[in-house]
Amino acid sequence: MKHRIVTLDSINLVKRTMRMTTLRASMTVAIGGMVLATMAFFPRQQAQACTRVLYETGNRAYITGRTMDWADASAKTALWAFPRGMKRDGGVGQNPIKWTSKYGSVVTSFYDAGTADGMNEKGLVANLLYLNEADFGDAAKSGKATLSAGAWAQYFLDNYSSVREAVSAMANPAFAIIAPPLPNGKAAGLHLSLSDSTGDSAILEYIKGKLVLHRGSQYTVMTNSPTFDQQLALNTYWDKVGGNNFLPGTISAADRFVRVSYNLKASPKYKDSGLALASVFSQMRAISVPLGMADPDRPNIAMTLWRTVADQEAKVYYFESVIFPGLSWVDLAKVDLGEGATPKVIRIERGQAISGDVSQAFKPAMPFKWLGAQ
């Protein structure tokens, strides 16, 4: 008859295993309670999903990446090259604001109604993302010149070379924003992120008619609802839990904020420019929502349609469509953005696959009208 020899070491191992199992169970219960509390505190929003990150390389250069997540796969998308010296106006209202572009830019348009994303020749990047809580207030009561929500990002790209300049100007905004419904009938609830080649960052939200502005290099992530201050509070909790222990796994904006924040912090700051670029792409792909995903009971879920990555040191703007796979890029130094140049476009559509360096593929075109413009 064989006998099992039980040593002191094996007994201690069993005890440690039992303690760890109990600890994990307790943590699971605690985290589960927090998740349920979060869901109760932030009810499901009628919002669309997008994600933005600002990555610092090992050479203290900066790269901004974003996803465009939207429920309408037919939404028209195009790349545009806008030169310096363009005469612009806000497009809506009785007194639209007027300006002349100081800087050329390469941007991504959406619905042929506005600039959703882009970078100017100084490395300033603007990203528009959906925000259900956005409330721009009553423009008529402000007494100010008006600006279409579709022109909001482009206004900054045209006029400012840095986040510092843009934030200083917004201390007393020269305009009030009008946000007509989007072409698919959704409200144009939006918030804006800005970043520049120094790593400076700003998040702009209009809440109950008032501008709320967060500025600082620490603001490296933005998603959607809830408002940015509440996103930060949620993320502080999950930082204490630790991403190696547990991360919230849904594709809600709050959960994506937590996961992409963890991924961004965990990613090495690569000195190799190719690896740095690959890191941002990997993070954007990892946080994307599969094409066609939908849930009738959760209309806030939206599929990723495209991704952009802006290398703010090299001044190269990358675009990746999910529907028409293929990575393309525009080197701003290879595009004529000088005063007097013609606006140009590359349409993103079926039958016109684009990939590689498309800096010379732009075709002259009349610029689109801002959202709500007649």
Whether the pLDDT of residue 16 is over 70: the answer is: no
Which is higher by pLDDT, 326 or 40?
326
Residue 351 is predicted with a pLDDT of: 75
Closest CA to 205 of 219, 217, 218: 219
If one looks up domain 45-364 in CATH, what number appears? 3.60.60.10
Which is higher by pLDDT, 32 or 156?
156
Residue 300 is predicted with a pLDDT of: 54
Span 230-250, average pLDDT: 72
* Residues 92, 90: Cα–Cα separation, whole Å: 6
* Residues 242, 255: Cα–Cα separation, whole Å: 14
Whether the pLDDT of residue 48 is over 70: the answer is: no
Percent above pLDDT 70 for the chain: 82
Q: What is the chain's mean pLDDT, rounded? A: 86
Residue 192 is predicted with a pLDDT of: 96
* Residues 71, 124: Cα–Cα separation, whole Å: 28
Q: For 150-195, what is each residue's pLDDT tens digit?
A: 999 999 999 999 999 999 999 999 999 999 998 888 888 999 999 9
Residue 238 is predicted with a pLDDT of: 64
Q: For 77-112, what is each residue's pLDDT tens digit?
A: 999 999 999 999 999 999 999 999 999 999 999 999
Which is higher by pLDDT, 184 or 246?
184
Which residues sit opposite 348 in a β-bridge?
77
Q: For 282-313, what is each residue's pLDDT tens digit?
A: 999 999 989 888 666 655 568 999 999 999 99
- Confidence class of residue 243 from pLDDT cuts 50, 70 and 90? low
Catalytic residue annotation: 50
Whether the pLDDT of residue 128 is over 60: the answer is: yes
The domain segmentation of the chain, as residue ranges, is 45-364
Counting every residue, how long is the chain? 374
For residue 362, how many other CB atoms are within 10 A of its CB? Answer: 19
